[in-house]
């Protein structure tokens, strides 16, 4: 990537995500623990890409995750309905003894990493226990959508992993479906009207075509059992 080329995703009107800036693209697979809860990410294949490429947004491409033009023949309506308000304006805060949990529920991608050991919203109240605190941080950092974020209560500093700019194609074998695009590392996301959404370390973009919070995922892929055929 040249120094002048910005890493960017442009949302085409009723069309694909146009990616530029030589952004790596890999499969990311949700795996369960022995209790049956989402617990870890397993890296799958890495796609060979050019510096620019187009990713399917309608959910009907036969060359998933890439766009094959099907959105035109099916009359895909990709109207963006998501708020452009900053995350902090959308999120509710929950105070725990040592951590503050912020939660923007409308961004939920239904990856379920927040569920083990009694759910993160209950665990936040017990973060004076070092083991519980560690689990809460783990669960929030595994959330691909950035719905859940944390601040250290003593320092007021945000707790975030340093994620390199990349895109993950989420697959969810436990639910027998395919998930959204996991956008990592503060990549610019430009709306079809030329304005930009807030740059964030973690967000998920809908690729099944069914989200009611486009361009972001709202978990609809799970209810429609979206399957892109990447995992045979």
Q: Is pLDDT of 4 > 70? A: no
My answer on whether omega of the bond before 65 falls inside 30° of 0, hence cis, is yes
Domain boundaries, the chain: 1-227
At residue 9, the pLDDT reads 98
Dist CA 160 CA 162 (whole Å): 6
Dist CA 22 CA 40 (whole Å): 27
**Torsion region of 165: left, alpha or beta (phi above 0 gives left; psi -120 to 50 gives alpha):** beta
78-134: pLDDT as tens digits: 999 999 999 999 999 999 999 999 999 999 999 999 999 999 999 999 999 999 999
Classify the C-alpha dihedral 100-102-103-109 as positive or negative.
Answer: negative
Dist CA 177 CA 31 (whole Å): 13
Asked if 15 and 67 touch (Cβ cutoff 8 Å), the reply is: yes
At residue 88, the pLDDT reads 97
Report helix, strand or coil for 197: coil
More confident residue, 1 or 210: 210
Strand partners, 183: 167, 203
The 10 Å Cβ neighbour count of residue 43 is 10
DSSP codes of every residue in 59-105: S--TTTTB--SHHHHHT---------S-HHHH-EEEE-SSEEEEE-G
Exposure of 128 in the CB half-sphere (CA atoms within 13 A) = 4
Distance of CA 58 to the CA centre of its chain: 17
10-53: pLDDT as tens digits: 999 999 999 999 999 999 999 999 999 999 999 999 999 999 99
């Amino acid at each position: 990537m040249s120094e002048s080329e910005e890493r960017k995703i442009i949302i085409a009107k009723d069309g694909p995500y146009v990616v530029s800036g030589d952004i790596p693209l890999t499969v990311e697979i949700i795996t369960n623990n022995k209790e049956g809860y989402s617990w870890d990410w397993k890296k799958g294949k890495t796609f060979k890409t050019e510096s620019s490429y187009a990713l399917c947004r309608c959910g009907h491409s036969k060359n998933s995750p890439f766009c094959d033009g099907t959105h035109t023949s099916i009359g895909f309506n990709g109207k963006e309905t998501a708020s452009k308000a900053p995350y902090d304006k959308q999120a509710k805060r929950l105070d725990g003894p040592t951590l503050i949990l912020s939660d923007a529920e409308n961004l939920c991608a239904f990856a379920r990493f927040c569920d083990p050991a009694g759910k993160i919203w209950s665990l936040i109240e017990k973060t004076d226990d070092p083991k519980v605190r560690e689990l809460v941080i783990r669960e929030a950092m595994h959330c691909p959508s950035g719905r859940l974020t944390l601040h250290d209560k003593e320092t007021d500093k945000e707790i975030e992993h340093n994620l390199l700019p990349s895109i993950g194609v989420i697959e969810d074998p436990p639910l027998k479906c395919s998930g959204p695009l996991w956008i990592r590392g503060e990549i610019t996301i430009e709306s079809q009207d030329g304005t930009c959404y807030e740059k964030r370390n973690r967000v998920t973009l809908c690729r099944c075509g069914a989200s009611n919070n486009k361009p972001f995922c709202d978990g609809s892929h799970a209810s429609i059992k979206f399957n892109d055929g990447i995992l045979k």
